Amino acid sequence: MRLFPPSFPLRNTRSAPGRAESGRLVPAVLVSASTVALASLWPIAPCAAASHQDAPPSRPERAPQEEPPPPPPKDRYLVTWAPKRSDQTTPAPATPPATTATETPQGRGSDTPSTSEAGDTPAPRTSPAGRLILFLVPDIPRFASAMPADGPFFRSLQPIASIPVGEMTDGAVVEFDFAKAASFRGAFEELDGTWRVQAVLDSDFTERGHLGPGNLVSQPITVELASDRGDEVRLELTEIIQPRATPPGATADGRGVVWIERRSELLSRHFGREFRMRAGVVLPYGYHDRGFPRRMWPAIYVVGGFGANHLAAGAAAPALQSPEARAAVPQAAWVYLDADTPWGHSGFVDSDVNGPIGRALVEEFIPFLEERFRLIATPEARVVTGHSSGGWTAVHLAITYPEVFGAAFASAPDPVDFSAFQSTDLYRDPSLFVSSDGSDTPSYRGILGPNDDRVFMTVRDELASERAIDPDGRGGGQWAAWEAIWSPLDPTRRAPRRLCNPETGAIDATTVAAWSRHDIAQRLEHDPDRIGPILDERVRIVCGTRDSYYLNRAVARLGARLAAWRARGNTAGATAPSSDRGYIELVDGLAHDTIYQHAQLRFGPEMIAHFRTHGLGEAPYIPGGGRATSDDARENGAASGQPRRDDRPVKAPTPSP
């Protein structure tokens, strides 16, 4: 059973006839022409006296027509450009605590200094053109600790509107023109009650989303709105978002994270500016101990879910480097990758929009990391893992670059079969917004009970909220990111080709044809002899049966396809032992977040088993910290206590079709 949440308190009486707001159809009063004609045919009264018989019969007076209601009072939202001076600037949004250093001081693709330096520079006197965005949230306890500009909030989508603006000078005031706005959740004039409002001027396109460095935001203010009067709301863009601060350096004993930023030649040429790939590297216990029995290490590449990046390494480091956790945590270098481009999560897929980011990873970044950190340069020594969008990325990398990655571990991956793209069959369904039963297609749900779900967000609403931030897909939302990964470039918009009509949801067949080349299930169907063995031997996927984004449907279909491939006797030549084989499994009752904890507990021992199967397990530690024998040292990559590196990284692989 699906229960839809109540809408925001919008007043409907001024809506145009038949206008839909927040999933409700607003009643309209309709008066037909025949009704007006009948109203004029009143009964004719008989003549009062003979003297009036020659006079023409009098016509009854018509009832006075009702005057049309006056137009609703106009609300005014006035936004002033007033950035603080250098001694008033505020830091960037908080980053996870970390204990590490970086190899380059500046942010990706940006000439802006680091946070401390930017805080000492004067605020600019003019701002570049961009989009002015208004975010509103109701002033209720649920949003008490949230900044309105952190939206959209999937469990309770809020009103959003944006307009394009040109350059603004210090002190300039812009009146928000709703006639030109892309908006979501209806007209702002119809809002009632107490709201918190915040404005953002988004002019940065070096980072994903509307809170990139250099953008301006206002402090949120609380306002009382009424639909029966004209309200005036004044906001000041005072806060300049600074580039993320470089986390502090690692300790002398190697505790913490080593932050890496390295220029990518391939991506810098594509974007026409410097583009740096980023990672947070958590080194294993014993890495800096010259008496430790091993000197060369396998690597586990971690790709976070949508919105996550390499900074997650800071929170993970204490547990990964704990001596007490060595029995349960694979002893390897944990490399947390940043998969973002300005368009959003890239999936490390080479595309028209994101550029050759997959090649940049395997040809430039991984060879550099292997040289820098004494990593073993063989496929068996490289494991890739991820959750959600990162889970899809892990599977994609494993089957696209089998010469690079020897195993993949994925939890709740983005759709691995586009015939079950969340709740839509992209190959058969005509609309992304309407399901086959005529109801709105759900996108995000929560579990209420053993058999009951609550739909918090539909696909129609999710896409509308993304378009309200930026109609051209530069807002960094999930659907815009998918289009940047899989769609061809639309030269008329200089943006990815849309998957569907943004107003009607009609699916574009040309776009689907382009997307199908990256459909993992289709790749298995079209090239079973190559993809089948990789999925069978190297890829492990788990997903909850009640995934919040309905990703379990695609996982189930890919699992059925792989089972059919196995049933045809294709596992007869399998080379991997049974303890190191792939699988695709659904876990009953788990959702998108709860499957993550399940996967972490399950994947750790399986990664340890994978490394041991290939002779890469950790050697026992020598009590007292003594050196290994010369034989042990050679076996583990060191001679006479000196570290040894591979002569050269492996040759850059060619992506599989």
**Which neighbouring-strand residues pair with 410?**
386, 541
Domain ranges (residues) in the chain? 76-95+123-240, 257-417+519-643, 423-516
Least reliable range by pLDDT among 219-228, 623-632, 633-642: 633-642
Report residue 314 CA to chain centroid gap: 20
Q: Which of 129, 107, 481, 102 is nearest to 274 (CA)?
A: 107
What residues have CB less than 8 Å from 628, skipping those under 6 apart? 291, 292, 293, 619, 622, 636, 638
Tens-digit pLDDT profile for residues 375-420: 999 999 999 999 999 999 999 999 999 999 999 999 999 999 999 9
User: Which 8-state DSSP code applies to residue 431?
Assistant: B
Tens-digit pLDDT profile for residues 8-39: 333 333 333 333 333 333 333 333 333 333 33
Least reliable range by pLDDT among 37-51, 382-396, 494-508, 527-541: 37-51
Taking the C-alpha atoms of residue 637 and residue 409, their distance in angstroms, rounded to an integer, is 27
* Domain made up of 257-417+519-643: CATH architecture: 3-Layer(aba) Sandwich (3.40)
Residue 247: per-residue pLDDT: 75
Tens-digit pLDDT profile for residues 133-184: 999 999 999 999 999 999 999 999 999 999 999 988 888 899 999 999 999 9
Residue with tokens 């939206």: 151
Residue 75: per-residue pLDDT: 87
**374 or 651, higher pLDDT:** 374
- Residue 605's CB is within 10 A of a number of other CB atoms, namely 13
HEC string of 81-145 equals ECCCCHHHCCCCCCCCCCCCEECCCCCCCCCCCCHHHHHCCCCCCEECCEEEEEEEEECCHHHCC
The answer to whether 116 and 245 have CB atoms below 8 angstroms apart is yes
Q: Per-residue pLDDT for 554 more than 70?
A: yes
| Token pair of 200 as six digits | 């953002």
What is the rounded average pLDDT of the residues 202-206?
A: 89
Q: Per-residue pLDDT for 103 more than 70?
A: no
Q: Per-residue pLDDT for 637 more than 90?
A: no
What is the rounded average pLDDT of the residues 630-634?
A: 36
Rg (CA), the chain: 30
Residue 574: per-residue pLDDT: 56
Residue 205: per-residue pLDDT: 87
User: Which 8-state DSSP code applies to residue 10?
Assistant: B
Residue 127: per-residue pLDDT: 76
**Which neighbouring-strand residues pair with 135?**
160, 198
Residue 244: per-residue pLDDT: 80
Angle at 203 between CA 201 and CA 205, to 5 degrees: 135
Least reliable range by pLDDT among 11-20, 77-86, 283-292: 11-20
Least reliable range by pLDDT among 286-295, 386-395, 430-439: 286-295
For residue 2, the surrounding DSSP H or E stretch is strand 2-3
Confidence of residue 630 (pLDDT cuts 50, 70, 90): very low
Q: Per 3-state DSSP, what percentage of the chain is helix, strand, and coil (rounded to 5)?
A: 25, 25, 50
The answer to whether 507 and 519 have CB atoms below 8 angstroms apart is no
Taking the C-alpha atoms of residue 301 and residue 260, their distance in angstroms, rounded to an integer, is 14
Taking the C-alpha atoms of residue 321 and residue 366, their distance in angstroms, rounded to an integer, is 22
Give the type of residue at 594: T
What is the rounded average pLDDT of the residues 241-264?
A: 80
Residue 575: per-residue pLDDT: 57
Tens-digit pLDDT profile for residues 146-155: 999 999 999 9
| Token pair of 575 as six digits | 């080379």
In this structure, the dihedral spanned by the alpha carbons of residues 185, 189, 195 and 198, taken in order and rounded to 10 degrees, is: 80
**Whether the predicted model's global pTM rises above the 0.85 cut:** no
Percent of residues, the chain, with pLDDT higher than 90: 61
Q: Per-residue pLDDT for 209 more than 80?
A: yes
For residue 80, the surrounding DSSP H or E stretch is strand 76-81
Taking the C-alpha atoms of residue 358 and residue 350, their distance in angstroms, rounded to an integer, is 5
Confidence of residue 206 (pLDDT cuts 50, 70, 90): confident
Residue 322: per-residue pLDDT: 86
Residue 370: per-residue pLDDT: 97
The answer to whether 290 and 278 have CB atoms below 8 angstroms apart is no
Residue 89: per-residue pLDDT: 42
Residue 88: per-residue pLDDT: 46
Taking the C-alpha atoms of residue 465 and residue 74, their distance in angstroms, rounded to an integer, is 23
Residue 33: per-residue pLDDT: 35
What is the rounded average pLDDT of the residues 294-303?
A: 95
For residue 563, the surrounding DSSP H or E stretch is helix 552-565
Taking the C-alpha atoms of residue 419 and residue 215, their distance in angstroms, rounded to an integer, is 39
In this structure, the dihedral spanned by the alpha carbons of residues 361, 364, 365 and 369, taken in order and rounded to 10 degrees, is: 140
Residue 638: per-residue pLDDT: 34
What is the rounded average pLDDT of the residues 94-115?
A: 33
Length of the chain: 657
Confidence of residue 115 (pLDDT cuts 50, 70, 90): very low
Cis peptide before 655 (omega within 30 of 0): no
Average pLDDT, the chain: 80
- Residue 240's CB is within 10 A of a number of other CB atoms, namely 24
**224 or 324, higher pLDDT:** 224
Taking the C-alpha atoms of residue 253 and residue 289, their distance in angstroms, rounded to an integer, is 9
Tens-digit pLDDT profile for residues 579-628: 678 999 999 999 999 999 999 999 999 999 999 999 998 754 444 443 33
What residues have CB less than 8 Å from 253, skipping those under 6 apart? 288
| Token pair of 160 as six digits | 């959003």
